[in-house]
Amino acid sequence: MKDLRNANAIVTGASRGIGAHIARALASSGVNVAVAARSPRQLEAVRAELAALGVKAIAIRADITVPAERQDLAERAAAELGPVDILVNNAAAERFSRYTDLDATQIEAMVCLNLTAPLLLIQAVLPGMLDRGKGHIVNLSSASGTVATPFNAVYSATKFALVGVTHSLRAEHLGSPVGFSVVCPGFVSEDGMYARYQAQGLRRAPLLVGTTTPRKVASAVLRAIREDRAQIMVNSPPARPTAVLQAAAPQVMPRLLKQVGLTSMVARAAEMRRTSAVQ
Ligand SMILES: NC(=O)c1ccc[n+]([C@@H]2O[C@H](COP(=O)([O-])OP(=O)(O)OC[C@H]3O[C@@H](n4cnc5c(N)ncnc54)[C@H](OP(=O)(O)O)[C@@H]3O)[C@@H](O)[C@H]2O)c1
């Protein structure tokens, strides 16, 4: 989609963190935005900011793991803004932890939020996009969707899955005017889930996996839509060869991640999470 002006978008997880930055970037390009999340007050603050940029902006309180609320989100966005042209599947949760410390409920909840909900939101909006011959879906994955990070099995699984979902849909809809992109940020400083660990004293991510900023992630989302990019890694340069190495020689990765200090960093994050220093 080259011209974003007056397009209508849904951004999930836009009450704070990276989602709010993505919503602002879209609104700054003239896109009308429905921001969705569970926290009404934070959502309303973001909505007001977007409306001040001169676009239509609505706040829809929705827990996207609840089928009726997910359906309501898709229906209200279309009713109040108009046909949905852009879906940004951004909402997700991460829970650094020893895998054996997670219970079944926690695993299922994370898979539902990070993977099932995006899949079903795509189903809710894609038929309309295909009928109208216009639309773009952006899935927020992660560097953990290209390099399997320890103490992060469920999150990594869902983020690898979103890469697969995106490329499968691109192949299925090759030649269609509807586009699909996946954006894979490294650790994001300043705002969002990783910044909360940093604020509690977690040391900087090692060079190999790299870091980025919410603003760079938001502009990558816009670039993905405008240029119909298949996949954008938003990260410092050493992360790219690392992703290639993961695919070509997965047997070397655990030792490499340990050597560069990534394993000890995420083990510390898991400990912070276990002792409730970070939610
Ligand atoms: N931060 C990083 O370092 C980083 C790195 C790579 C990729 N990413 C990806 O970037 C995206 C955004 O991450 P972030 O760091 O901005 O996360 P965040 O600060 O934790 O924000 C998560 C957002 O999702 C919403 N959310 C959570 N559960 C929800 C639910 N059940 N239904 C609806 N909304 C829900 C939250 O709002 P409510 O609590 O109000 O519902 C919030 O708006 C995620 O996909 C993440 O995997 C982040």
The pLDDT of residue 263: 94
Among the residue ranges 60-74, 135-149, 186-200, 203-217, the one predicted with the least confidence is: 203-217
Asked if residue 63 has its Cβ within 6 Å of ligand 1, the reply is yes
The pLDDT of residue 101: 95
The pLDDT of residue 213: 95
pTM greater than the 0.95 cutoff = yes
Buried b / exposed e over 269-278, threshold 16 CB at 10 Å, is bbebbeeeeb
Q: Give CA–CA dist 93/117, Å, rounded.
A: 12
Residue 270 lies in a domain: yes
Token reading at 223: 């670039």
The pLDDT of residue 241: 87
Tell me the pLDDT tens digit for each residue of 206-260: 767 778 999 999 999 999 999 999 999 998 877 788 899 999 999 999 999 999 8
Domain count, the chain: 1
Distance 175 CA to ligand 1 centre (A): 32
Among the residue ranges 21-35, 117-131, 200-214, 262-276, the one predicted with the least confidence is: 200-214
Among the residue ranges 2-16, 135-149, 202-216, the one predicted with the least confidence is: 202-216
Tell me the pLDDT tens digit for each residue of 30-89: 999 999 999 999 999 999 999 999 999 999 999 999 999 999 999 999 999 999 999 999
Q: Is 61 helix (H, G, I), strand (E, B) or coil?
A: strand
The pLDDT of residue 54: 98
Among 89, 90, 138, 235, the mutation site with the greatest number of ligand 1 atoms within 8 A of its Cβ is 90
Asked if residue 18 has its Cβ within 6 Å of ligand 1, the reply is yes
Residue 165 lies in a domain: yes
The pLDDT of residue 238: 72
* DSSP-assigned beta bridge partners for residue 33: 9, 57
Asked if residue 96 has its Cβ within 6 Å of ligand 1, the reply is no
Range of the domain at 171: 8-274
Q: Residue 25 — very low, low, confident or very high, per pLDDT cuts 50/70/90?
A: very high
Distance 28 CA to ligand 1 centre (A): 21
**pLDDT of residue 24 exceeding 90:** yes
Residue 1 lies in a domain: no
CA 234 to chain centre: 12
Residue 279 lies in a domain: no
Residue 65 lies in a domain: yes
Percentage above 90 pLDDT, the chain:
88
The pLDDT of residue 277: 65
Task: Please give the average per-residue pLDDT across 83-103, as a whole number.
Answer: 97
Q: Give CA–CA dist 224/218, Å, rounded.
A: 10
Token reading at 238: 């050493």
Q: Is 155 a catalytic residue?
A: yes
Q: Report the CATH number at residue 209.
A: 3.40.50.720
Residue 144 lies in a domain: yes
**pLDDT of residue 111 exceeding 70:** yes
The pLDDT of residue 279: 66
The identity of residue 135, as a single letter, is G
218-221 long-range Cβ contacts below 8 angstroms, 24+ apart = 218/18, 218/21, 218/22, 218/24, 218/25, 219/25, 220/183, 220/185, 221/22, 221/25, 221/26, 221/88, 221/138, 221/140, 221/181, 221/183
Residue 2 lies in a domain: no
**pLDDT of residue 190 exceeding 80:** yes
Instruction: Report whether 34 contacts 88 (CB < 8 A).
Output: no
Residue 103 lies in a domain: yes
Q: Is 147 helix (H, G, I), strand (E, B) or coil?
A: coil
Task: Please give the average per-residue pLDDT across 142-170, as a whole number.
Answer: 97
